[in-house]
Structure 1
Amino acid sequence: MTSDVTDFGAVADDEHAGIVLLYDDTMPGHRVASALIHMVDTYPDRDAFAGYEQLDDWV
């Protein structure tokens, strides 16, 4: 998870599990955790994750 996708610019797509962007990096930790849990619970397995999500949309 990052607020800056360039953190992963040098990493090939097949070398990481995916990227979760959080644009509102002032969001309280409990809301971030809740959104992450909701996202994880929504995907039936790792292969269903397209490799990119915006966490802000899950809050």
Structure 2
Amino acid sequence: MPVLIRELHIKVSVNALEAAQGTSGGSLTPGTSAPPEDRERLVAECVEQVLSILKSQREP
């Protein structure tokens, strides 16, 4: 019997400083942030995914 996955939740923490240094994981420390172009790209990707999820939920 096949398994149907209706929802998938993924939680990710991104740290621009650690990524640049080659380390992995972690969360942003207070007072640090990603460069504006990275932030814009991340926000655009999140918006696209949210709109895709909302569209798929509206379809019967």
What range describes the TM-score normalised by the shorter chain of this pair?
Answer: 0.3 to 0.5
- Larger RCO of the pair (alpha carbons < 8 Å, separation 6+): 1
| Alignment TM-score, normalising by the size of structure 2 | 0.32
Greater per-residue strand proportion: 1
Q: Which has the larger radius of gyration?
A: 2
| Alignment TM-score, normalising by the size of structure 1 | 0.32
